[in-house]
Amino acid sequence: MKTLLMCEPRYFEVCYVINPWMDGNLGRVDTGLAVRQWRDLYDVLSGKAPIKLIEPVAGLPDMVFTANGGFVCRDREVVISSFRHPERRVESRYFSDFFVGSGYRVSGLGNGVHFEGAGDALRDSSGQVWAGYGQRSDVGAIDEIAAMLHGRVNGLALVDPKWYHLDTAFCPLEGGCVIAYDKAFSAQGVGSIERAFGGGTIWVSEEDANSFACNAVNIGSDVILHRASDELKAALGRQGFNVIEVGVSEFIKAGGACKCLTLEL
């Protein structure tokens, strides 16, 4: 069973702009609503998987997005993130301390190589790793992670700053399925996804992409996300999935939704 890492939104706010979603949302987070939305998500997820919590840190509002803290590349081994933006770099120290204290072996990538954890590194149901690059993470991270795994890592170039992490536009599901937004990727990337997932590929509409439908948490047959259109719900239903909507509008103001708020351990 998946174990998830989350972080309470005690200090969550939008106080800087490092992605297009934050633009225009400085100081506009309803913090009380954010706490209630996070709690709703926690309650749904905790009924389906064990959850561990990392202590939030004052002055690090984006620490709530635990997906970016690192990537668990093997059992009890984690690659700690090296954030591109200075506003988030201090987070790495606290995530590293958490993992060391939890008995994980912690490593990092080479000097100067940016890598933003499970926001840009996702496993499909076969165990293959997909890595996004070009916005936050560097292409050089792919070879380093592949060397750690002693296996192939499938790179996907992210071509639009709006979709700055892979998990904002790509979500592998159980049974060899995936939901993804084609306009986040190059033509080559779209082809790679279609070849790998075939009939299990569900391309989402612009409306669903903007509702962060791809930023979903898949546990068994359940797909937990912010919002999905009737068309997407039907497409997922045909593949045997049940959609559970949990509103996280306040976190979308910072560029993240359900998946960003969790890290699979």
pLDDT, tens only, 84-135: 999 999 999 999 999 999 999 999 998 899 999 999 999 999 999 999 999 9
Contact 105, 78 (CB under 8 A): yes
Contact 56, 11 (CB under 8 A): yes
Question: What pLDDT is recorded for position 10?
Answer: 98
Question: What pLDDT is recorded for position 118?
Answer: 98
Residues 6+ apart with CB under 8 A from 209: 163, 169, 181, 183, 184
pLDDT above 80 for 51: yes
In terms of Cα–Cα distance, which of 108, 68, 114 is closest to 91?
Answer: 68
Look up residue 80 and give its two tokens.
Answer: 């700690």
Look up residue 6 and give its two tokens.
Answer: 């989350």
Question: What pLDDT is recorded for position 22?
Answer: 99
Three-state secondary structure call for residue 20: coil
pLDDT, the chain, mean: 98
Residues with a catalytic annotation lie at 165, 260
pLDDT digits (tens, 9 = 90+) for 121-176: 999 999 999 999 999 999 999 999 999 999 999 999 999 999 999 999 999 999 99
Q: Going from the N-terminus, what domains does the chain have, and what CATH number goes with each? A: 4-264 (3.75.10.10)
Residues 6+ apart with CB under 8 A from 178: 124, 170, 171, 172, 193, 196, 197, 200, 201, 202
Is 0.85 topped by the overall pTM?
yes
**Cβ neighbours of 245 (radius 10 Å):** 16
- What is the spatial distance between Cα 258 and Cα 264, in angstroms, rounded to a whole number? 12
Look up residue 47 and give its two tokens.
Answer: 């009924």
